[in-house]
A and B are shown apart, each in its own frame.
Chain A
Amino acid sequence: MILFNYIASFFLIVLGFYCIVTKYNAVKTVIGLSIADYGVNLLIISIGFNPGGTAPIYTWGELNPSSFFVDPIPQALTLTSIVIGACTTAMSLALVIKLKESYGTLDTREIRRLNG
């Protein structure tokens, strides 16, 4: 079951990269970035998952070597990563709006005044 998660996460990362490389619409590039990001988030959360583990909420006294819970660190990392992903999307969409205003197009093949 968890293997399916790993396959799906790498599929999402590759799909995101594919989208960035092949799509010439700036908005689609941003979508590609987000998809790759979701793939990584899925990977992180799958790595922390222990089948049958409980939620990692314990007080100091309850914790003993037989406690079995999912790894809490990846969950914290995922939260951070989701926030960063949202920032990426917001920032790149802001730039896309500005680009559309000044270049009059969203086609990345025409946004190439800096070259050579």
Chain B
Amino acid sequence: MTNLLSYTHFPVYSIMVLFLGAFLVVIAGKSKALRHIFAICAVTASLACLIALIKPVMIDGEVIAYWMGAREPAGGYAIGIALEVDALSLFFGLLIATAVFVSCCYSITYMRFDENVSQYYTLFLMLSGGVIGLVLSGDLFNMFIMVEILTFAAVALTAFRNKAHGALEAAFKYLVVGCIGSTCILAGTIMLYAQARTLNFAQLSAFIPGNFNTSTIIAFALLYIGFSTKAFIVPFHPLAADAHGAAPASISVLISGVLTKSGIYGIIRLTYFLFQSMALGKMQFLLVFIGSVSMFVCVTMALAQHDFKRLLAFHSISQIGYVLTACGLCTALGISAGLYHAMNHTLFKGLLFLAAGAVLQQTGTTDLNKLGGLSKRMPHTTVLFLIGAFSISGIPPFNGFASKWMVYQATYQKAVESGNIGFLFATIIALITSVLTLASFVKVSQSVFFGQLPEEYKDVKEVPFGMRFAMGIFAVLCIVTGLFRELVTHYLTEPAARAVFDVGKYINSMLGDGYASAVMGANAPVRTEVVFDMAGTWQPIHWLLLLCILLLAITLVALLGRYDTVSENKAALAEGKFDIFFGGEESVPSQVGGGDLFWGFKHNWRHYFSFMHDLHSGIVNDYALWAIVALALAMLYMLIVL
């Protein structure tokens, strides 16, 4: 009997407690307090188990291979079901567990008026368990099971407030396209099994790279599309927008911060580990291209939205585009930047969705054209929202700046190193996207928190402490990860990036030393020395000072230069000479609506926007068609390049 408290058991505990919690919540029945205690205990225990693994995995660089029921591999064949935790898995696991913990804290106050809350917590914990199981799994079929669990839980939770506008519709679309994705994953899994006769990741990683044939390549395309539907990257972004808009805010946090991450994790595992195909320029092109398209398309879609949560949803996918672009570069800096941005995305996006949830709960709407001036009534929420908005727009010293800077640097470095001008376009698109993101958050904060307070929201109050506390955790993390970049990169992203470039170790720790070189011969992956010089050479505080000085200078110049003209016109203004003529009617102050702040820009781009609007028709058949066309194109592309 091995010691049950040894850290090698922690991965399985962190998954188990969540599923156990899901059942205990049902047993708790009508008792509210008991239900909350079970839920909070489960998520805290899961987070604690993963935090305890930081020491051995992140710092000592160990890879934990855990065989369920102690069924060790025999004769070079993996028989049992395995969990394998390397730095990459743990990085995503920690992200997910943190987001789940904060979301659970928020739910306690946020969901207090809903019916059937006990089912809510069951599904919530199933979803969390599914995602953590997915990232810690060392087995392809196990991963498929976890994908199905999390898809079902996410669909049910999207439709949880089934009286809300569009909730059922969003859930149905998500289910149909999500199931196409799951079918693809299963078909891909079984086609790999037919070739390799194993489902174990490590063994597959040793087998596939030397055995590329039509069957494995089609399996690759199937798995890639399957994980794309989970990451909601183009062309699956409309589903994310629908699901986020309709789901409760605490679930939007999970869909945006957690589900998309599981898709990105799947793509990284698939391309860097199973197929080890990322050294090919054509594969890098594919990921960078899809990432850049996701960035740009989604940020422009977001500009045209006038629903708070739908807008945030499009931004969420736009940020995932950054992550995918950076991860597709196949450089240490790129992976490091991508993972850093993935982490920051979970934090600031979570914060923004929770703020949107707070606004929805207090006012009953998320329509940007109806809201306004809430900063006077909800000052704390406003400050928290602004922290999130600054972070996502990449303003120093918040975390978005740190990771976006690394993404620009990584794409530019790649362009210089490879001499390929295409990567420079990725840098430019990333910069433009960042500007458009800022523009769009100026619009949101103007139309929700500033401007004029509509008559009907005069009595709006601040949200309860529980919700502000949850948002506060995210806000503090946003600032901390922005200011202490060295610590974050040293303890979290760099070990994870090293793990990505050390496939041999991943295989060997699972199946015994020397397995990789024995099976793969000369093709065995050698550990690439990962160099992080130049990574993020900048000082957020200096940039902040520069920004402040520039702002002060501009303000000063503006004040000095215009002082006289203002005083001259005062007399004329008082006469009413320059007043706007309303045809005799009394002038009424009017709020610039959420959709109208950038009307000039939108007018100039009206052909593009109306084209995009018509394209996102909202008909499930169209989205299914996109999925299948994407699958066909992916198969074709991969058959040609691999």
Determine whether the beta carbon of B176 is less than 8 Å from that of A111: no
Contact of A116 among B159, B175, B194, B613 (CB under 8 A): B613
Determine whether the beta carbon of A20 is less than 8 Å from that of B190: no
List A contacts of B625 (CB < 8 A): 21
Determine whether the beta carbon of A81 is less than 8 Å from that of B159: no
Max chain A C-beta neighbours (<10 A), residue from B145, B187, B613, B617: B187
- Give chain B's interface secondary structure class: helix
Docked complex Cα distance between A43 and B189 (Å): 11
A13-B617 CB under 8 A given contacts A44-B190, A91-B152, A91-B175: no
Determine whether the beta carbon of B190 is less than 8 Å from that of A102: no
Q: How many A-B residue pairs have CB under 8 A?
A: 121
Query: Smallest distance from the beta carbon of B620 to chain A beta carbons, Å?
Result: 5
A102-B628 CB under 8 A given contacts A24-B621, A88-B175: no
Determine whether the beta carbon of A40 is less than 8 Å from that of B183: yes
Q: List 11 A-B contacts (CB under 8 A).
A: A33-B176, A40-B186, A40-B190, A43-B190, A47-B193, A77-B141, A77-B193, A102-B168, A109-B619, A114-B169, A116-B616
Docked complex Cα distance between A108 and B624 (Å): 12
Q: Counting CB contacts under 8 A, is B482 at the interface?
A: no
Query: What is the interface residue range for chain A against chain B?
Result: 35 or more
Q: Give the nearest-CB partner of B620 in chain A.
A: A108
Q: Give the nearest-CB partner of B171 in chain A.
A: A95
List A contacts of B369 (CB < 8 A): none
Stretch with Cβ within 8 A of A (4 or more), from B88-96, B240-248, B540-548: B240-248
Determine whether the beta carbon of B172 is less than 8 Å from that of A80: no
List B contacts of A47 (CB < 8 A): 190, 193-194
List A contacts of B310 (CB < 8 A): 114
Q: Counting CB contacts under 8 A, is B165 at the interface?
A: yes
Docked complex Cα distance between A71 and B148 (Å): 24
Q: Counting CB contacts under 8 A, is A99 at the interface?
A: yes
Determine whether the beta carbon of B624 is less than 8 Å from that of A21: yes
Query: What is the interface residue range for chain B against chain A?
Result: 35 or more
Q: Counting CB contacts under 8 A, is A7 at the interface?
A: no
Determine whether the beta carbon of B172 is less than 8 Å from that of A96: yes
Contact of A13 among B187, B245, B616 (CB under 8 A): B187
- Tell me the chain A residues, 52-111 only, with Cβ under 8 Å from chain B: 71, 73-74, 77, 80-81, 84, 87-88, 91-92, 95-96, 98-99, 102-103, 108-109, 111
Determine whether the beta carbon of A17 is less than 8 Å from that of B187: no
Q: Write the residues of chain B forming the contact surface with A, with a CB cutoff of 8 angstroms.
A: 141, 145, 148, 152, 155-156, 159, 162, 165-166, 168-172, 175-176, 179-180, 182-183, 186-187, 190-191, 193-194, 197, 199, 241-242, 245-246, 304, 310, 612-613, 616-621, 624-625, 628
Q: Give the nearest-CB partner of A81 in chain B.
A: B186
Q: Give the nearest-CB partner of B629 in chain A.
A: A21
Determine whether the beta carbon of B169 is less than 8 Å from that of A111: yes
Determine whether the beta carbon of A20 is less than 8 Å from that of B183: no
List B contacts of A13 (CB < 8 A): 183, 187
A92-B193 CB under 8 A given contacts A21-B621, A111-B169, A114-B241: no
List B contacts of A114 (CB < 8 A): 166, 169-170, 241-242, 245-246, 310, 618
Determine whether the beta carbon of A74 is less than 8 Å from that of B166: no
Determine whether the beta carbon of B168 is less than 8 Å from that of A29: no
Determine whether the beta carbon of B169 is less than 8 Å from that of A113: yes
Docked complex Cα distance between A91 and B168 (Å): 12
Query: Smallest distance from the beta carbon of B622 to chain A beta carbons, Å?
Result: 9
Max chain A C-beta neighbours (<10 A), residue from B141, B186, B612, B616: B186
Docked complex Cα distance between A35 and B623 (Å): 19
Determine whether the beta carbon of B180 is less than 8 Å from that of A113: no
Determine whether the beta carbon of A91 is less than 8 Å from that of B187: no
Q: Give the nearest-CB partner of B145 in chain A.
A: A80
Docked complex Cα distance between A47 and B186 (Å): 13
Q: Give the nearest-CB partner of B176 in chain A.
A: A29
Docked complex Cα distance between A81 and B189 (Å): 12
Determine whether the beta carbon of A108 is less than 8 Å from that of B619: yes
List B contacts of A113 (CB < 8 A): 165-166, 169, 618
List B contacts of A95 (CB < 8 A): 155, 159, 168, 171-172, 175
